[in-house]
Chain A
Amino acid sequence: MKREAVLRELREVFGPRGVLWEAHHLLLYEYDASIDKGRPDFVVFPTSTEQVVAAVRIANRYGLPIVVRGAGTGLSGGAVADQGGLMIVTTRMRRILEIDPVNLRAVVQPGVVNLAVSQAAAAYGLYYAPDPSSQKACTIGGNVAENSGGPHCLAYGVTTHHVLGLEVVLPDGEVIEVGGAALDWPGYDLTGLIVGSEGTLGIVTKAILRLLPQPEAVVTLLAVFDTVDQASEAVSAIIADGTIPGAIEMMDRTAIQAVESAKRCGYPTDAGAVLLIDVEGLTEGLEDLAHHIARICEHYDAREVRVATDPVERERLWSGRKGAFGAMGRLAPSYYVQDGVVPRDQLPQVLRRIQEIGQRYGLVIANVFHAGDGNLHPLILFDERDPEQTRRVLEAGAEILRACVEAGGSLTGEHGIGLEKRDLMPLLFSPADLEAMARIKAAFNPENRLNPCKMFPSTKMCLETWSRRRARMAEPIRYRAGSPEMPPEEELWI
């Protein structure tokens, strides 16, 4: 009855084509790119801020939790409606409202795809710097929520360094502006607080972004090492030498072999590790700088350093890195990617520990990651149809994150906490830290209606979902037949 009332109201605002409520439609919105799932009760597709406000007000009237979703490429379950409720999908808010080529600003709606900003700015010799690997699909709204990174964040910073202002719908339906096109806005830095808040403080309906001038020239180096330790030491030496390249990416032997068996990129398959380094900026002195970095690599026993200036050759060297996650399919049916961060000088030790963890759990782990900023992406290979193996994968993943935190690092560099890592937060934060964050959340989202049960350790209210996740992990996921345990009329969100 309540369900029908909600549906009627949603359809009044969004029309028949703007609302999904039938099980076979909702199925498509029950997951993101992480391992968690949860089915919303309704999905709406607003085209304007006003429609977002209307959706929020309806959700409030009926006590529905709200989850916002962009392209669903998130890796920590941030856009999974694990408590059911109303899902607001931003993909129809995909207009680039303004490119200001003089002041280097872009104003966009949240559903704009990351790469589309750079494409629109390219005509002016500009681009949007944060470049998550999913940039052809992921949206700016999702990037803002997760404070996304990418390979080139080493030199240019992550999303928060490039977001100047936001329009935000608060959980009570009020619309506020924070920050703006001018810099150093006075008052508390609400823009900085909302970026990376994983959809728990407000719904972003507009973002003012900073653009950068495209580099004049880029040189790509591929440095081949016999061991991961040598490559890690080279990374620290390059940074310590006083030059910060545009990107320094590392792939270990397992990753190299996967990539080479998927497509030939010219990485030597017997290498222990390769570094991909982008040196970019002005033409002047760039090749000298590239050769300087090549010499540092050689000093740390690189057995070969290739230097590519030609765009086609550069693209070929990068194609292996860009296709690395996909290439894992050559080695196993599934992979579970982690996102720990360690201080750069701890890389060799932590990478050894990751291998040791893999061996202990009987799992193969490939490493493809942003070495320059110490942001690891161990890919644990497995077959998710095997529940016992899946359980080991999750345990190994948590142990890897523990190793990162113990080395002075963090649980996540760019994927967010979401559902996936919320119960690991106490590894990093004391109860007092978490309490302070909870109070900040209460200043925006006092009824916990917006993206409930994300980012913070599960409370009593969330426990049920958690146990459901555990239960799910004990059974095959992807090939599970039929509809899940919950009958559609069961109103979990009440």
Chain B
Amino acid sequence: MDLTERYRLDGRSPRSVIHPRTVEEVAEALREAARSGWAVVPWGSGAHQGYGEAPSRYDLALDLTGLSGIVRHRPANLTVRVEAGIRLADLNAQLAAHGQWLPLDPPPGDSATIGGILATGLSGPLRARYGPPRDLLIGIRVVLADGTVVQGGGEVVKNVAGYDLPRLFCGSLGTLGVIVEAAFKLWPRPKTEATALFGFARAEDAMPLTLGLLRHPGFPLAVEVLNAAAWAELRRQVSLPETPEARIWVLVRAGGWPASVERVLRDAENLAAAAQARERLSGDAAALLWAHVPRLTALPYPPPPDGLWVRLGVLPAQVAEALRTLEAFPDVRVIGQAQGTAGVIYARAHGPLEALLGWGEALRSFALARGGHFTLLNGPEAARRALGLWAPQRPEIAAMQRIKAQLDPHGRLSPGRMGW
């Protein structure tokens, strides 16, 4: 089989695939690409490759999974530096021996590589407590389009020397440079954990719980809101109660010392006065649940023709309205999940193309009318054309384009990914 087949993007194969094993080999590959004028797309596990516009040019696939080492873990310092191709699962397995973790749970699950997680910047349920990937990133090493290796940040948890390159590269979809190493601040694993599930008839009924937990000084690890279809999907993977009258579920994950975990869940129960159903999980059952929750809206690659994946960002108090809007279209089946305290919503819809476009357009308008944002994560070409990659498109985009032009003047890194 032609090896380049595995690296097809939007029906196109690269001319060549390189598997560098060292940062120097990445730099050499990019220098060579610069000499040939080739366009380069970095690859990790491929889990996120559907996100962003398809590259407008694509000559070289740079597979970074060979850079999969832990460069330096300083347990007493709660920091780690890793190569970009390491899988989140492998990293966390190593850190677990020290009672530490990198608390990220992005949509593709923990098979995603660190480089991919950073390049997309997508967050999962744990962000309620620990923030999105960029809040944990303290240092980064990237190879620019011309093969120059540069670094920003460092390996200390507090550092304001120089521009915050780590944040700039986070979420840049491989358009500014190829991430080859990243340093993170780690967290101790919580001493104990427990999970409570609450089922509500309507999204509005869940808001006292999610907004109450937003301002709870016990800082729950996750407050994830699922619609009925997401719950049904989850029930296929995990043994969970079936409560037909519950249309919205809130999953509350608390961690810390036993007394505070108990307190958070007790307060959650009081805030969930309107709940029709409640359930507690702990141990393996809870672990299994939380392994599956982030993947409910995982992005498949290549995207199926009848599906659309979107992300909305709104205020936490607008989540109920957003969930209602998600389900307002009878011709599409929608799996939706919201980070209840953050207001970030991931949803996927399946149905006829025309209905999908209407659904996407309605969500886009909703987010814009509420002062929020809309991102098309994955979907057929027609949807990208109709909806654009993200909204609102504000004048700041000119500044983004100037940064791109400065760092990649010939437009050879993932060209067109951001829509330009």
Contacts and interface: CB of A to CB of B under 8 A. Distances in A.
B111 to A, nearest CB: 22
A11 to B, nearest CB: 30
Given A104-B215, A182-B313, A192-B134, A187 B390 contact: yes
A428 B403 contact: no
Interface string A178-195: 101111111111101101
Interface string A92-112: 000000001011110000000
Interface string A152-194: 0100011011000000001000101110111111111110110
A177 B167 contact: no
B273 interface: no
Given A160-B167, A182-B371, A432-B148, A187 B400 contact: yes
Interface residues of A, number: 90
B155 to A, nearest CB: 6
Contacts of B74: 343, 345
Interface stretch (A20-28, A210-218, A222-230): A210-218
Nearest to A76: B160
A197 interface: yes
Contact of B218 (A102, A149, A282): A282
B291 to A, nearest CB: 22
Contact of A192 (B159, B168, B176, B372): B168
B362 interface: no
B170 A189 contact: yes
A282 B132 contact: no
B97 interface: no
Nearest to A233: B76
Interface stretch (A46-54, A312-320, A358-366, A413-421): A413-421
Given A344-B77, A345-B74, A190 B399 contact: yes
A428 B211 CA distance: 43
Interface in A207-250: 213-216, 236, 239-244
Interface string A127-140: 00000000000000
Contacts of B387: none
Interface string B311-344: 1011111000000000000000000000000111
Contacts of A435: 148, 150
A196 interface: yes
B76 A240 contact: yes
A332 to B, nearest CB: 27
Contacts of B148: 432, 435-436
A189 B418 contact: no
A425 interface: yes
Contacts of A213: 215-217
B215 A374 contact: no
B164 A195 contact: yes
A185 B313 contact: yes
A289 interface: yes
B371 A342 contact: no
A476 interface: no
Nearest to B219: A281
Contacts of A178: 396
Contacts of A189: 121, 134, 167-168, 170-171
A412 B156 contact: no
Counting chain B CB atoms within 10 Å of each CB, the highest count among A105, A126, A240, A416 belongs to A240
Interface string B62-90: 00000000000011111100000000000
B164 A425 contact: no
Contact of A345 (B77, B99, B187, B389): B77
A184 B157 contact: no
B257 A414 contact: no
Interface in B136-159: 144, 148-152, 154-159
Contact of B160 (A126, A146, A187): A146
Contacts of B176: 188
A186 B402 CA distance: 17
Contact of B168 (A193, A411, A421): A193
Given A342-B156, A413-B156, A185 B373 contact: yes
Contact of A239 (B78, B144, B168, B219): B78
Given A178-B396, A189-B167, A439-B406, A411 B257 contact: no
Interface stretch (B12-20, B53-61, B258-266): B258-266
A483 interface: no
Contacts of A374: 77, 156-158
B162 interface: yes
Given A187-B390, A343-B156, A181 B257 contact: no
A152 to B, nearest CB: 12
A180 B372 contact: yes
Contacts of B271: none
A341 interface: yes
Interface string B342-358: 11100000000000000
Contacts of A187: 171, 390, 396-397, 400, 418
B416 interface: no
B162 A428 contact: yes
Given A242-B99, A410-B159, 18 more contacts: A102-B316, A103-B317, A184-B122, A186-B375, A187-B171, A187-B396, A192-B167, A193-B163, A242-B189, A281-B219, A285-B258, A341-B156, A373-B158, A408-B156, A414-B158, A425-B161, A440-B168, A443-B399
Interface of B: 74-79, 99, 121-123, 131-132, 134-135, 144, 148-152, 154-165, 167-168, 170-172, 176, 187-189, 191, 211, 214-219, 257-260, 262-264, 311, 313-317, 342-344, 371-373, 375, 389-390, 394-397, 399-400, 402-403, 405-407, 418
Interface of A: 100, 102-105, 125-126, 146-147, 149, 153, 157-158, 160-161, 170, 174, 176-178, 180-190, 192-193, 195-197, 213-216, 236, 239-244, 281-282, 284-285, 288-289, 341-345, 370, 373-375, 408-417, 421, 425, 428-430, 432-437, 439-444, 455
